[in-house]
């Protein structure tokens, strides 16, 4: 199979690394070659962060470049806009509708763009936006927004739910597994609405 590319974008501290680990485990369990590229260090401190997950028969480069992503999973609206040029024509976006003002907006040096999701939709892009934060709080913790998004994405990729459940078991500490399974179900449920 030709290599598929997924990007997980968000703000440092939002839990993008766990999301990439879950995806990596899902693809590996299905017998694919997998590469996951993370960013550690300075940009994790509230900066714009991106993680790449690629799978296929043989994956070479660990990074995803402009126009190459089959799916972009975004934790925040402005980040969805920022990384949009990385989407392949015909690719899909799954995004949280959360809005986090970056420092230039807080200080008044820039304005947060309005109506991002609708404007991207209007370009003909397949965008699914969910209240990941609200659903995560409903599951028991705002921190589980990453797993809510995994639930939404699970409906967009051709793998059985049990495969995702197994990856959750592997990646999430036992202490938080119930909370995260609930978050996953809530995310997965949004696709049926």
Partner 1 sequence: MPMKKLMLGNEAFARGLYESGCEFVSSYPGTPSTEVTEFAAKYDEIYAEWAPNEKVAMEAALGASIAGKRSFCGMKHVGLNVAADPLYTAGYTGVGGGMVICVADDPGLHSSQNEQDSRHHAIASKVLMLEPSDSLECKNYVKKAFELSERFDTPVIVRLSTRIAHSQSIVELEEREEYISQPYEKNAAKYVMMPAFAKKRHTVVEQRLKAAAEYAEECPLNTVEYNDTDIGIITAGNCYLYAKEALGDNASYLKLGMVNPLPVKLIKDFAAKCGRLYVIEELDDIIETHCLKHGINVQGKELFGFEGEISQAIVREKLLGIRPQTISLDEIAPARPPVMCAGCPHRGLFYCLQQLGVFVSGDIGCYTLGAAAPLSAMDTTICMGASVSALHGYNKALGREAEKKSVAVIGDSTFMHSGITGLVNIAYNATNSTVIILDNSITGMTGHQQNPTTGMNLKGDPAAAVDLEALCRAVGINSVRVVDPYKMAETKAVIAEELEKEEPSVIISRRPCALLKYVKHSAPLKVDEKKCVGCKQCLKIGCPAISMSGGKSVIDHTQCVGCGICKELCRPAAIG
- Please count the residues of this chain forming the interface with partner 1, following the rule CB under 8 A: 63
Distances in Å between the Cα of 60 and the Cα atoms of 6, 68, 85 are 14, 14, 22
Provide DSSP, 46-98: TSEEEEEEEEESS---S---TT-EEEEEESSHHHHHHHGGGEEEEEEEEEE--
**Residue 12 engages partner 1 in binding (rule: CB under 8 A):** yes
**Residue 150 engages partner 1 in binding (rule: CB under 8 A):** no
- 27-49 burial: b if 16+ Cβ within 10 Å, else e: bebeebebbbebbeeeebeeebb
Q: Tell the smallest beta-carbon distance from residue 172 to partner 1 (Å).
A: 15
**Residue 160 engages partner 1 in binding (rule: CB under 8 A):** no
Residue 1 or residue 109: which is nearer to partner 1 going by CB? 109
Contacting partner 1 (CB under 8 A), which of 30, 57, 104, 159? 104
The total number of residues written for the chain in this structure = 193
Applying the rule CB under 8 A, the residues between 116 and 145 that interact with partner 1 are 116, 119-120, 123, 125, 133, 142
Q: Tell the smallest beta-carbon distance from residue 45 to partner 1 (Å).
A: 4
Residue 12 or residue 192: which is nearer to partner 1 going by CB? 12
Rounded CA separation 108/50 (Å): 25
The token pair at 108 is 């008044």
Rounded CA separation 87/93 (Å): 8
Contacting partner 1 (CB under 8 A), which of 1, 2, 41, 173? 41
Q: How many CB atoms lie within 10 A of CB 160?
A: 11
- x/- site string to partner 1, residues 164 to 193, per CB under 8 A? ------------------------------
Closest C-alpha to 59, from 105, 24, 100? 24
Residues forming the site for partner 1 (CB under 8 A): 3, 11-13, 21, 24-25, 28, 33-48, 59-63, 65-68, 78-79, 81-82, 84-87, 89, 100-113, 116, 119-120, 123, 125, 133, 142
């Amino acid at each position: 199979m030709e290599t598929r590319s997924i990007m997980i974008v968000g703000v440092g501290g939002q839990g993008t690394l766990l999301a990439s680990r879950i995806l990596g485990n899902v693809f590996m369990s299905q017998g694919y070659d997998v590469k996951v590229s993370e960013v550690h260090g300075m940009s994790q401190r509230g900066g714009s962060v991106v993680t790449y997950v690629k799978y296929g028969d043989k994956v070479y480069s660990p990074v995803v470049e402009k126009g190459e992503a089959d799916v972009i999973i975004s934790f925040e609206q402005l980040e969805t806009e920022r990384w949009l040029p990385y989407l392949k024509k015909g690719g899909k976006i799954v995004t949280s509708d959360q809005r986090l003002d970056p420092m230039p907006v807080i200080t008044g040096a820039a304005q947060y763009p309005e109506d991002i999701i609708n404007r991207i939709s209007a370009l003909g892009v397949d965008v699914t936006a969910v209240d990941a934060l609200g659903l995560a709080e409903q599951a028991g913790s705002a921190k589980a927004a990453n797993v809510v998004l995994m639930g939404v994405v699970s409906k967009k990729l051709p793998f059985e739910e049990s495969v995702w459940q197994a990856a959750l078991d592997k990646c999430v500490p036992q202490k938080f597994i119930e909370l995260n399974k609930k978050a996953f179900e809530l995310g997965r449920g949004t696709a049926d609405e």
